[in-house]
Structure 1
Protein backbone atom coordinates (compact mmCIF):
# COMPACT_ATOMS: atom_id res chain seq x y z
CA UNK A 1 0.00 0.00 0.00
CA UNK A 2 1.29 3.48 -0.84
CA UNK A 3 2.14 5.93 1.92
CA UNK A 4 1.95 9.62 2.70
CA UNK A 5 4.41 11.13 5.15
CA UNK A 6 2.66 13.70 7.34
CA UNK A 7 5.10 16.11 9.01
CA UNK A 8 3.71 18.40 11.69
CA UNK A 9 4.59 20.32 14.83
CA UNK A 10 2.44 19.94 17.94
CA UNK A 11 2.21 23.73 18.32
CA UNK A 12 0.97 24.21 14.73
CA UNK A 13 -2.69 25.24 14.35
CA UNK A 14 -2.81 24.12 10.74
CA UNK A 15 -1.10 20.89 11.73
CA UNK A 16 -3.90 20.31 14.24
CA UNK A 17 -6.58 20.96 11.64
CA UNK A 18 -4.84 18.57 9.23
CA UNK A 19 -4.53 15.88 11.90
CA UNK A 20 -8.28 15.98 12.40
CA UNK A 21 -8.73 15.13 8.71
CA UNK A 22 -6.29 12.26 8.37
CA UNK A 23 -8.66 9.39 9.20
CA UNK A 24 -11.09 10.46 6.48
CA UNK A 25 -8.18 11.12 4.12
CA UNK A 26 -6.89 7.57 4.49
CA UNK A 27 -10.32 6.14 3.76
CA UNK A 28 -10.82 8.42 0.77
CA UNK A 29 -7.45 7.79 -0.85
CA UNK A 30 -6.63 4.25 0.24
CA UNK A 31 -3.14 5.28 1.38
CA UNK A 32 -1.48 4.87 4.76
CA UNK A 33 -0.54 8.12 6.49
CA UNK A 34 2.69 7.98 8.48
CA UNK A 35 2.64 10.60 11.23
CA UNK A 36 6.00 12.31 11.74
CA UNK A 37 6.07 15.17 14.25
CA UNK A 38 9.13 17.39 13.95
CA UNK A 39 10.44 20.63 15.43
CA UNK A 40 9.30 23.46 13.20
CA UNK A 41 11.50 25.96 15.02
CA UNK A 42 14.55 24.36 13.41
CA UNK A 43 12.98 24.83 9.98
CA UNK A 44 12.22 28.47 10.79
CA UNK A 45 15.88 29.06 11.60
CA UNK A 46 16.82 27.73 8.16
CA UNK A 47 14.26 29.83 6.29
CA UNK A 48 14.26 32.97 8.43
CA UNK A 49 10.56 32.63 9.18
CA UNK A 50 8.84 33.59 12.41
CA UNK A 51 5.63 32.20 13.94
CA UNK A 52 2.65 33.27 11.82
CA UNK A 53 0.84 35.32 14.44
CA UNK A 54 3.99 37.29 15.21
CA UNK A 55 4.41 38.47 11.63
CA UNK A 56 3.49 42.10 10.89
CA UNK A 57 0.35 42.56 8.77
CA UNK A 58 0.08 38.81 8.09
CA UNK A 59 -0.52 37.85 11.74
CA UNK A 60 -4.11 39.13 12.07
CA UNK A 61 -5.06 37.51 8.76
CA UNK A 62 -3.72 34.12 9.77
CA UNK A 63 -5.50 34.24 13.13
CA UNK A 64 -8.75 34.90 11.28
CA UNK A 65 -7.99 32.21 8.73
CA UNK A 66 -7.21 29.58 11.37
CA UNK A 67 -10.50 30.25 13.11
CA UNK A 68 -12.38 30.23 9.80
CA UNK A 69 -10.81 26.96 8.67
CA UNK A 70 -11.70 25.36 11.99
CA UNK A 71 -15.32 26.47 11.66
CA UNK A 72 -15.54 25.20 8.09
CA UNK A 73 -14.32 21.74 9.08
CA UNK A 74 -16.33 21.78 12.32
CA UNK A 75 -13.28 21.41 14.55
CA UNK A 76 -13.13 22.96 18.05
CA UNK A 77 -10.37 25.56 18.07
CA UNK A 78 -8.91 28.47 20.02
CA UNK A 79 -5.43 29.98 20.04
CA UNK A 80 -3.88 29.01 23.40
CA UNK A 81 -2.43 31.62 25.74
CA UNK A 82 1.08 30.16 25.52
CA UNK A 83 1.22 30.04 21.74
CA UNK A 84 3.50 28.83 20.28
CA UNK A 85 5.61 26.49 22.41
CA UNK A 86 8.57 24.18 21.83
CA UNK A 87 6.88 20.78 21.74
CA UNK A 88 9.92 18.68 22.65
CA UNK A 89 8.25 16.55 25.32
CA UNK A 90 5.17 15.45 23.34
CA UNK A 91 7.30 14.86 20.24
CA UNK A 92 9.76 12.61 22.06
CA UNK A 93 6.88 10.86 23.82
CA UNK A 94 5.15 10.28 20.49
CA UNK A 95 8.12 8.49 18.97
CA UNK A 96 8.66 6.42 22.10
CA UNK A 97 5.05 5.25 21.85
CA UNK A 98 5.27 4.75 18.09
CA UNK A 99 8.26 2.43 18.52
CA UNK A 100 5.89 -0.18 19.94
CA UNK A 101 2.42 0.97 18.87
CA UNK A 102 1.93 3.43 15.99
CA UNK A 103 -1.83 3.25 16.51
CA UNK A 104 -1.53 4.27 20.16
CA UNK A 105 0.93 7.02 19.25
CA UNK A 106 -1.55 8.43 16.77
CA UNK A 107 -4.30 8.53 19.40
CA UNK A 108 -1.88 10.23 21.78
CA UNK A 109 -0.98 12.81 19.12
CA UNK A 110 -4.64 13.69 18.64
CA UNK A 111 -5.07 14.06 22.40
CA UNK A 112 -2.09 16.41 22.60
CA UNK A 113 -3.45 18.53 19.77
CA UNK A 114 -6.99 18.62 21.11
CA UNK A 115 -5.82 19.34 24.61
CA UNK A 116 -3.85 22.33 23.37
CA UNK A 117 -6.13 23.82 20.70
CA UNK A 118 -9.58 22.70 21.88
CA UNK A 119 -9.29 22.47 25.67
CA UNK A 120 -6.72 25.22 26.32
CA UNK A 121 -4.30 22.99 28.22
CA UNK A 122 -0.70 24.13 28.55
CA UNK A 123 1.15 21.39 26.72
CA UNK A 124 4.49 22.99 27.49
CA UNK A 125 3.87 21.55 30.96
CA UNK A 126 5.09 17.92 30.82
CA UNK A 127 2.48 16.91 33.39
CA UNK A 128 -0.30 17.66 30.92
CA UNK A 129 1.48 15.55 28.32
CA UNK A 130 1.79 12.64 30.75
CA UNK A 131 -1.86 13.03 31.76
CA UNK A 132 -2.88 12.67 28.12
CA UNK A 133 -0.84 9.48 27.87
CA UNK A 134 -2.30 8.05 31.06
CA UNK A 135 -5.76 7.99 29.46
CA UNK A 136 -4.45 5.21 27.23
CA UNK A 137 -3.06 3.10 30.06
CA UNK A 138 0.50 4.14 29.22
CA UNK A 139 3.12 3.65 31.90
CA UNK A 140 3.78 7.29 32.74
CA UNK A 141 6.92 6.44 34.68
CA UNK A 142 8.43 4.83 31.60
CA UNK A 143 7.40 7.80 29.48
CA UNK A 144 9.06 10.23 31.90
CA UNK A 145 12.29 8.30 31.52
CA UNK A 146 11.94 8.05 27.74
CA UNK A 147 11.51 11.77 27.08
CA UNK A 148 14.74 12.49 28.94
CA UNK A 149 16.72 9.71 27.29
CA UNK A 150 19.39 10.38 24.69
CA UNK A 151 17.72 7.87 22.38
CA UNK A 152 14.55 9.88 21.83
CA UNK A 153 16.25 13.26 21.97
CA UNK A 154 18.52 12.15 19.14
CA UNK A 155 15.63 10.56 17.25
CA UNK A 156 13.63 13.79 17.20
CA UNK A 157 16.71 15.70 16.09
CA UNK A 158 17.29 13.24 13.25
CA UNK A 159 13.67 13.29 12.09
CA UNK A 160 13.72 17.08 12.08
CA UNK A 161 16.98 17.27 10.15
CA UNK A 162 15.72 14.73 7.60
CA UNK A 163 12.44 16.62 7.17
CA UNK A 164 14.28 19.86 6.46
CA UNK A 165 16.62 18.12 4.00
CA UNK A 166 13.57 16.80 2.16
CA UNK A 167 12.21 20.35 1.95
CA UNK A 168 9.70 20.55 4.80
CA UNK A 169 9.63 24.17 5.97
CA UNK A 170 6.27 24.36 7.73
CA UNK A 171 3.43 22.40 9.29
CA UNK A 172 1.63 20.44 8.00
CA UNK A 173 3.89 19.18 5.23
CA UNK A 174 3.17 16.08 3.18
CA UNK A 175 5.24 13.91 0.87
CA UNK A 176 3.83 11.33 -1.52
CA UNK A 177 6.31 9.51 -3.76
CA UNK A 178 8.66 12.46 -3.31
CA UNK A 179 6.02 15.04 -4.28
CA UNK A 180 5.73 17.82 -1.63
CA UNK A 181 2.53 19.50 -0.46
CA UNK A 182 2.44 22.25 2.17
CA UNK A 183 -0.57 23.24 4.21
CA UNK A 184 -3.94 22.04 5.45
CA UNK A 185 -5.43 23.65 2.34
CA UNK A 186 -3.46 21.28 0.09
CA UNK A 187 -4.98 18.08 1.43
CA UNK A 188 -7.66 17.88 -1.26
CA UNK A 189 -5.06 18.60 -3.93
CA UNK A 190 -2.88 15.85 -2.47
CA UNK A 191 -5.83 13.45 -2.70
CA UNK A 192 -6.33 14.41 -6.34
CA UNK A 193 -2.63 13.88 -7.04
CA UNK A 194 -2.73 10.42 -5.47
CA UNK A 195 -5.75 9.51 -7.57
CA UNK A 196 -3.98 10.73 -10.71
CA UNK A 197 -0.81 8.81 -9.91
CA UNK A 198 -2.76 5.63 -9.22
CA UNK A 199 -4.71 6.05 -12.45
CA UNK A 200 -1.51 6.60 -14.42
CA UNK A 201 0.16 3.59 -12.84
CA UNK A 202 -2.88 1.44 -13.58
CA UNK A 203 -2.94 2.54 -17.23
CA UNK A 204 0.78 1.82 -17.56
CA UNK A 205 0.27 -1.63 -16.07
CA UNK A 206 -2.53 -2.36 -18.54
CA UNK A 207 -0.32 -1.31 -21.46
CA UNK A 208 2.58 -3.44 -20.24
CA UNK A 209 0.40 -6.54 -19.99
CA UNK A 210 -1.10 -6.26 -23.46
Structure 2
Protein backbone atom coordinates (compact mmCIF):
# COMPACT_ATOMS: atom_id res chain seq x y z
CA UNK A 1 0.00 0.00 0.00
CA UNK A 2 1.32 3.44 -0.90
CA UNK A 3 1.26 6.24 1.62
CA UNK A 4 0.74 9.97 1.98
CA UNK A 5 2.41 12.09 4.64
CA UNK A 6 -0.01 14.58 6.19
CA UNK A 7 2.01 17.45 7.69
CA UNK A 8 0.10 19.74 10.02
CA UNK A 9 0.18 22.02 13.04
CA UNK A 10 -2.78 21.80 15.42
CA UNK A 11 -2.96 25.60 15.38
CA UNK A 12 -3.46 25.68 11.60
CA UNK A 13 -6.97 26.70 10.56
CA UNK A 14 -7.09 24.98 7.18
CA UNK A 15 -5.64 21.81 8.68
CA UNK A 16 -8.91 21.44 10.59
CA UNK A 17 -11.13 20.46 7.62
CA UNK A 18 -8.29 18.46 6.10
CA UNK A 19 -7.98 16.43 9.29
CA UNK A 20 -11.71 15.70 9.33
CA UNK A 21 -11.94 14.39 5.79
CA UNK A 22 -8.62 12.78 4.92
CA UNK A 23 -9.22 9.27 6.23
CA UNK A 24 -12.17 8.16 4.09
CA UNK A 25 -10.92 9.17 0.62
CA UNK A 26 -7.41 7.94 1.39
CA UNK A 27 -8.72 4.55 2.49
CA UNK A 28 -10.99 4.32 -0.55
CA UNK A 29 -7.96 4.92 -2.78
CA UNK A 30 -5.73 2.45 -0.97
CA UNK A 31 -3.49 5.17 0.44
CA UNK A 32 -2.20 4.94 4.02
CA UNK A 33 -2.01 8.27 5.85
CA UNK A 34 1.05 9.03 7.94
CA UNK A 35 0.32 11.80 10.44
CA UNK A 36 3.29 14.18 10.76
CA UNK A 37 2.81 16.96 13.33
CA UNK A 38 5.37 19.76 13.26
CA UNK A 39 5.76 23.24 14.70
CA UNK A 40 4.81 25.66 11.95
CA UNK A 41 5.66 28.67 14.12
CA UNK A 42 9.34 27.76 13.96
CA UNK A 43 9.21 27.93 10.17
CA UNK A 44 7.26 31.19 10.26
CA UNK A 45 9.96 32.71 12.47
CA UNK A 46 12.55 32.00 9.80
CA UNK A 47 10.41 34.09 7.45
CA UNK A 48 10.40 36.96 9.95
CA UNK A 49 6.87 36.33 11.23
CA UNK A 50 6.13 36.23 14.96
CA UNK A 51 2.56 35.02 14.47
CA UNK A 52 0.26 33.67 11.79
CA UNK A 53 0.19 35.64 8.52
CA UNK A 54 -3.59 35.70 9.03
CA UNK A 55 -2.92 37.95 12.04
CA UNK A 56 -0.21 39.99 10.37
CA UNK A 57 -2.38 40.79 7.36
CA UNK A 58 -5.91 41.57 8.65
CA UNK A 59 -7.59 41.44 5.24
CA UNK A 60 -6.16 37.98 4.65
CA UNK A 61 -7.31 36.94 8.13
CA UNK A 62 -10.87 38.16 7.58
CA UNK A 63 -11.01 36.30 4.29
CA UNK A 64 -9.62 33.11 5.82
CA UNK A 65 -12.23 32.95 8.58
CA UNK A 66 -15.05 33.56 6.12
CA UNK A 67 -13.63 30.99 3.71
CA UNK A 68 -13.18 28.47 6.51
CA UNK A 69 -16.78 29.06 7.59
CA UNK A 70 -17.98 28.23 4.07
CA UNK A 71 -15.83 25.10 3.94
CA UNK A 72 -17.03 23.90 7.34
CA UNK A 73 -20.63 24.63 6.45
CA UNK A 74 -20.30 22.53 3.29
CA UNK A 75 -18.80 19.68 5.32
CA UNK A 76 -21.27 19.97 8.20
CA UNK A 77 -18.46 20.79 10.64
CA UNK A 78 -18.85 23.11 13.62
CA UNK A 79 -16.54 26.11 13.68
CA UNK A 80 -15.54 28.27 16.64
CA UNK A 81 -12.68 30.71 16.21
CA UNK A 82 -10.09 29.74 18.83
CA UNK A 83 -8.90 32.39 21.27
CA UNK A 84 -6.07 33.05 21.09
CA UNK A 85 -5.33 32.26 17.47
CA UNK A 86 -3.16 30.47 16.77
CA UNK A 87 -3.34 28.31 19.86
CA UNK A 88 -0.26 26.94 21.56
CA UNK A 89 -0.13 23.49 19.97
CA UNK A 90 3.07 22.16 21.55
CA UNK A 91 1.49 19.72 24.02
CA UNK A 92 -0.98 18.36 21.47
CA UNK A 93 1.84 17.86 18.96
CA UNK A 94 4.06 16.10 21.49
CA UNK A 95 1.24 13.70 22.34
CA UNK A 96 0.59 13.12 18.63
CA UNK A 97 4.29 12.31 18.25
CA UNK A 98 4.12 9.92 21.20
CA UNK A 99 1.08 8.03 19.87
CA UNK A 100 2.14 8.02 16.22
CA UNK A 101 2.49 4.24 16.11
CA UNK A 102 -0.96 3.56 17.55
CA UNK A 103 -3.87 2.56 15.28
CA UNK A 104 -5.92 5.43 16.72
CA UNK A 105 -3.31 8.14 16.06
CA UNK A 106 -5.31 9.63 13.18
CA UNK A 107 -8.49 9.67 15.25
CA UNK A 108 -6.63 11.41 18.07
CA UNK A 109 -5.39 14.10 15.66
CA UNK A 110 -8.86 14.63 14.18
CA UNK A 111 -10.38 14.95 17.64
CA UNK A 112 -7.80 17.49 18.80
CA UNK A 113 -8.67 19.64 15.80
CA UNK A 114 -12.37 19.33 16.68
CA UNK A 115 -11.65 20.44 20.24
CA UNK A 116 -9.77 23.51 18.99
CA UNK A 117 -11.81 24.60 15.99
CA UNK A 118 -15.14 22.86 16.54
CA UNK A 119 -15.56 23.63 20.23
CA UNK A 120 -13.09 26.45 20.95
CA UNK A 121 -11.34 24.53 23.71
CA UNK A 122 -7.76 25.19 24.73
CA UNK A 123 -5.52 22.45 23.37
CA UNK A 124 -2.67 23.70 25.54
CA UNK A 125 -4.71 22.48 28.54
CA UNK A 126 -3.44 19.07 29.65
CA UNK A 127 -6.91 18.08 30.81
CA UNK A 128 -8.37 18.69 27.36
CA UNK A 129 -5.67 16.56 25.75
CA UNK A 130 -5.98 13.87 28.44
CA UNK A 131 -9.72 13.64 27.74
CA UNK A 132 -9.06 13.24 24.02
CA UNK A 133 -6.53 10.45 24.57
CA UNK A 134 -8.91 8.74 27.01
CA UNK A 135 -11.41 8.31 24.16
CA UNK A 136 -9.00 5.90 22.51
CA UNK A 137 -6.81 4.45 25.27
CA UNK A 138 -7.51 3.71 28.90
CA UNK A 139 -4.10 4.88 30.12
CA UNK A 140 -4.09 8.52 29.08
CA UNK A 141 -1.71 9.59 31.90
CA UNK A 142 0.97 7.27 30.50
CA UNK A 143 0.77 8.90 27.08
CA UNK A 144 0.90 12.42 28.51
CA UNK A 145 3.94 11.46 30.56
CA UNK A 146 5.61 9.93 27.51
CA UNK A 147 4.94 13.13 25.58
CA UNK A 148 7.13 15.04 28.05
CA UNK A 149 10.15 12.77 27.69
CA UNK A 150 13.34 14.01 26.08
CA UNK A 151 12.98 11.39 23.33
CA UNK A 152 9.56 12.62 22.20
CA UNK A 153 10.54 16.28 22.46
CA UNK A 154 13.58 15.63 20.29
CA UNK A 155 11.48 13.66 17.80
CA UNK A 156 9.11 16.60 17.35
CA UNK A 157 12.04 18.98 16.89
CA UNK A 158 13.48 16.59 14.32
CA UNK A 159 10.15 16.42 12.49
CA UNK A 160 10.07 20.22 12.31
CA UNK A 161 13.61 20.20 10.89
CA UNK A 162 12.54 17.56 8.35
CA UNK A 163 9.57 19.69 7.31
CA UNK A 164 11.93 22.59 6.73
CA UNK A 165 14.30 20.46 4.62
CA UNK A 166 11.37 19.18 2.56
CA UNK A 167 10.41 22.75 1.70
CA UNK A 168 7.21 22.83 3.72
CA UNK A 169 6.16 26.42 4.35
CA UNK A 170 2.55 26.06 5.50
CA UNK A 171 -0.09 23.66 6.71
CA UNK A 172 -1.70 21.45 5.79
CA UNK A 173 0.89 19.99 3.46
CA UNK A 174 0.84 16.57 1.87
CA UNK A 175 3.91 14.75 0.58
CA UNK A 176 3.55 11.64 -1.54
CA UNK A 177 5.80 8.59 -1.39
CA UNK A 178 7.66 9.85 -4.46
CA UNK A 179 8.22 13.29 -2.95
CA UNK A 180 5.52 15.47 -4.51
CA UNK A 181 4.43 18.35 -2.26
CA UNK A 182 0.81 19.52 -2.21
CA UNK A 183 -0.11 22.48 -0.02
CA UNK A 184 -3.53 23.35 1.31
CA UNK A 185 -6.82 21.72 2.23
CA UNK A 186 -8.02 22.17 -1.35
CA UNK A 187 -5.14 20.05 -2.67
CA UNK A 188 -5.99 16.99 -0.58
CA UNK A 189 -7.82 15.16 -3.36
CA UNK A 190 -5.01 15.86 -5.81
CA UNK A 191 -2.46 14.50 -3.35
CA UNK A 192 -4.47 11.31 -2.82
CA UNK A 193 -4.99 10.87 -6.55
CA UNK A 194 -1.27 11.31 -7.22
CA UNK A 195 -0.44 8.78 -4.51
CA UNK A 196 -2.91 6.18 -5.73
CA UNK A 197 -1.69 6.16 -9.32
CA UNK A 198 2.04 5.87 -8.68
- Normalising by structure 2, we get a TM-score of 0.91
Q: CA deviation at 1:77?
A: 1.6
Partner SS state of residue 27, structure 1? helix
Map of 1:1-210 to 2, 5 A cutoff?
1-49=1-49, 50-54=51-55, 55-99=57-101, 101=102, 103-176=103-176, 177-194=178-195, 197-198=197-198
> Cα distance 1:137–1:28, how it changes in 2: closer, same or farther (>3 A)?
closer
Residues 3 and 195, structure 2, Cα contact 8 Å, conserved in 1: no
Larger Rg: 1
Aligned residues: 195
Task: Mark the runs of 5 or more structure 1 residues left unpaired by the alignment.
Answer: 199-210
Residues 88 and 123, structure 2, Cα contact 8 Å, conserved in 1: no
Which structure 1 residue ranges, 4+ long, deviate > 6 Å from structure 2? Answer: none
Normalized per residue, which structure has more helix? 1
> Cα distance 1:95–1:138, how it changes in 2: closer, same or farther (>3 A)?
farther
Alpha-carbon distance between aligned partners in 2 of 1:132 and 1:12, rounded to the nearest angstrom: 18
CA RMSD of aligned residues (A): 1.6
Partner SS state of residue 181, structure 1? strand
Alpha-carbon distance between aligned partners in 2 of 1:23 and 1:137, rounded to the nearest angstrom: 20
Alpha-carbon distance between aligned partners in 2 of 1:84 and 1:118, rounded to the nearest angstrom: 14
- Normalising by structure 1, we get a TM-score of 0.86
> Cα distance 1:34–1:144, how it changes in 2: closer, same or farther (>3 A)?
closer
Q: CA deviation at 1:17?
A: 0.6
Alpha-carbon distance between aligned partners in 2 of 1:33 and 1:143, rounded to the nearest angstrom: 21
Residues 14 and 68, structure 2, Cα contact 8 Å, conserved in 1: yes
Alpha-carbon distance between aligned partners in 2 of 1:152 and 1:42, rounded to the nearest angstrom: 17
Alpha-carbon distance between aligned partners in 1 of 2:90 and 2:105, rounded to the nearest angstrom: 15
Task: Mark the runs of 5 or more structure 2 residues left unpaired by the alignment.
Answer: none
Residues 87 and 122, structure 2, Cα contact 8 Å, conserved in 1: no
